[in-house]
Structure 1
């Protein structure tokens, strides 16, 4: 895909909103995910189909590294490249409570296919934006490492839980990140803002006429129903869509040792049974005679070759003695007949992401040492192999970020901020919320989890790190705010053009 690189100078941003040194104009990179409704619908349906089977199959994404990357103190505070700034959160309703921290409704998982075709997920959050359609996550959860491309079938599922999308699924349309991450794999810019289409949910299926089926732009399929030969003939006369499979072929008599031979029993007369051989073979006796006790009506109605006894006995029963011989056959086949039933999948538009679940605020150029609450869906094991998190439910860490910035030489990092936290990979992309209001369940995104570190070397993750949110992050954020998206399904559940 062709990448658009735009300097801040042409962004049309208000100087009163952001101020940057003239010698350090920030740049950003943007790429298309699924801007067309048909592609967005296809990506969302891929994850929702079969009751969310693909969602449940996905595993956490993690950076391609053989060992946990080490943090090296830069020995200095981060230097803001402009004035501090922030945008406020949009309102949300109250979800449940976890311990003493109320989980924000805005968090969820992003799902995508990595470059090997594996089903992956990261953590993310909805954020406030002018079009109420932005998701914040780690850059490595959107942009492929070392490739001029983004991941396929990228969607956001807020409130995700065990294959369920309670607030709908939101397909990514446009992705924005730091120019240096995209071009040089510089993880100082390991963040991304993704503009998503309106969410939608699957709302069942409906049988329609062939005419309506052909005109339907959404998901559709033909469901076959088995019919008999008479219904098949009628279907052909009425020019319906019907077909047959196989052929009528009678069973053939074979020997008992013929491959695939099936043993059947044949009722015969007493005389035929007595004349038959005992053993295993065509026409040989099939077990001992069977005496059946029946009532008077069944006894009178019986016309078979068996022998009727006298009756009734003292209990009022009559008897019929049945005699059987062996019949070895190669099973025959019968033609099956089917007719088409035309089915369409109905989808329901869920509205804009920010209108459904709200959005967290965003802050940049803030002093170090901020009190934050970091959220995410940790899942991977610690370096020592212990796996305390399942990735099923969100977790959190609370504390103050470090007062110094850190380097991670493996990933060209010079200015990451750090937080003491034991969450493991899977929490990648989860928000660091500054000034978190536990009652309103909102705050300001001042970082997103990028990397995981074992600083004391005991085989346990003890720190996580994030890009420092500076003026360049704000520039990318403001650029992303202008991305317009729309509904991908109409009022009848149809796919829009």
Structure 2
């Protein structure tokens, strides 16, 4: 039997099938290997947790110029580690993500490690998505998680060949903050559905492992979106992550701190700022051993990925309770 890594270089070169809106009833029963769990943190609580001071501490770094024609769909993800003290900054984390097309325009694509803690075997708390985030600004509102959708092989087996997730989010909220002493008070205003505000990237799978792609994200938990562009190639086996079917591109992003979950987009058009999602930032690589990251990889998107996407794309989040 061929190893998964060997199969990737020899057989996974079929022309991809693109998916726009997904047919089928909302809330249909998902396959058994789809792990879908509702967020434990109430939406408004998650949004109000991330005060301007906390966002500033969680992102850190210096502001830099963002790429020209950056996609509105890409944004910053913030969350706290589960089963820990959320008030402790050591338990705050950030990732990247993108809005992706779905039946109800409420879907975010990111990495599974950006929604699930394999060490504690639980989904993250206080999870929010801020599209087009830049230096403390949330121009399209903040979107709290309703339902996390991952593959069982990541949640159960910690297999990074399945390090992708799709998150159904509530309607966005715009917050007007005021500070009295040390306390922040936020006034909330409904911003509407994610897809109505920023659109969504297309979704495709079973594509060539040598596509030209652009990756966007917030490396090192940064305050500004950055971009890498290059040609994909199959990556070697990464035993630490049980990963044998990853594809990567030249990029100095750090997958574990900020840029993880950022989209790999093929056919990206600067005019429309759209393309097709073919991957998400998962593992950062130092391929030449000089102590610096030089590649970023994603699980190869195949029929298993589509299965998770399809289940998530049919879920309706409803209004914030």
Q: 2:99 aligns with which of 121, 126, 147?
A: 126
Which whole-Å CA distance do the structure 2 matches of 1:432 and 1:203 have between them? Answer: 33
8 Å CA contact 2:66–2:225 kept in 1: the answer is no
Show structure 2 runs of 5+ residues with no match: 1-21, 24-30
Matched, 1:29 2:32: no
Instruction: Give the aligned partner of residue 142 of structure 1.
Output: 115
Matched, 1:107 2:113: no
> How far apart are 1:114 and its partner, in Å?
1.5
Secondary structure at the counterpart of residue 223 of structure 2: coil
Instruction: Give the aligned partner of residue 44 of structure 1.
Output: 47
Which whole-Å CA distance do the structure 1 matches of 2:252 and 2:133 have between them? Answer: 22
Secondary structure at the counterpart of residue 399 of structure 1: strand
Instruction: Give the aligned partner of residue 439 of structure 1.
Output: 271
Q: 1:154 aligns with which of 127, 132, 138?
A: 127
Matched, 1:170 2:176: no
Show structure 1 runs of 5+ residues with no match: 1-15, 18-24, 61-96, 206-222, 224-343, 381-390, 489-496
Which whole-Å CA distance do the structure 1 matches of 2:35 and 2:138 have between them? Answer: 30
Aligned residue runs from structure 1 range 97-496, under 5 A = 101-115=68-82, 116=84, 117=86, 118-203=91-176, 346-379=187-220, 391-402=222-233, 404-424=234-254, 425-488=257-320
8 Å CA contact 2:161–2:244 kept in 1: the answer is yes
Which whole-Å CA distance do the structure 2 matches of 1:392 and 1:166 have between them? Answer: 14
Secondary structure at the counterpart of residue 414 of structure 1: coil
Flag the structure with larger Rg.
1
Tell me the alpha carbon deviations over residues 37-58 of structure 1, each in whole angstroms, 9 at most, x when there is no partner: xx111111111x3xx1211121
The alignment's TM-score, normalised by the length of structure 2, stands at 0.81
Which whole-Å CA distance do the structure 2 matches of 1:180 and 1:204 have between them? Answer: 41
> How far apart are 1:405 and its partner, in Å?
4.5
> How far apart are 1:98 and its partner, in Å?
5.2
Q: RMSD over aligned Cα, in angstroms?
A: 2.5
Which whole-Å CA distance do the structure 2 matches of 1:192 and 1:346 have between them? Answer: 31
The alignment's TM-score, normalised by the length of structure 1, stands at 0.53
Instruction: Give the aligned partner of residue 18 of structure 2.
Output: none
Aligned residues: 278
> How far apart are 1:204 and its partner, in Å?
6.5
